[in-house]
Structure 1
Amino acid sequence: MTRVEVEYCVHCGMLNRARDVSEAILKQFGESVDEVALVTGDDGVFVVRADGEGVVDKTEDDSDVDAIVLAVKPHVGATA
Structure 2
Amino acid sequence: MPTPRVEIRYCPKCRWLLRAAWLAQELLTTFEGALGEVALVPAGNGLFQVWLDGELIFSRAEAGRFPEAKELKQLVRDRIAPDKDLGHSDRN
Q: Same fold (TM over 0.5)?
A: yes
% identical aligned pairs: 31
Q: CA deviation at 1:77?
A: 5.0
Aligned to 1:73: 77
Aligned to 1:53: 55
Structure with more of its chain in strand, by fraction: 1
Give unpaired runs (5+ residues) of structure 1: none
Deviation by residue 1:45-69 (Cα, 9 ceiling, x = unmatched): 0000000000100001122122112
Correspondence 1:1-80 to 2 at 5 A: 1-61=3-63, 62=65, 63-76=67-80
Describe the SS at the equivalent of 1:6.
strand
Deviation by residue 1:8-61 (Cα, 9 ceiling, x = unmatched): 000001001100110000011011011010011121000000000001000011
Letter in 2 for 1:66: K
Q: Max radius of gyration: which structure?
A: 2
What TM-score do you get using the length of structure 1 for normalisation? 0.89
- Greater relative CO (CA pairs within 8 A, separation 6+): 1
When the two chains are superposed, the root-mean-square deviation of aligned CA atoms in Å is 1.4
What TM-score do you get using the length of structure 2 for normalisation? 0.78
The number of equivalent residue pairs is 78
Whether the aligned pair in 2 keeps the contact of 1:4 and 1:37 (CA below 8 Å) is: yes
Runs (4 or more) in structure 1 with deviation over 6 Å come to none
Give unpaired runs (5+ residues) of structure 2: 83-92
Letter in 2 for 1:65: A
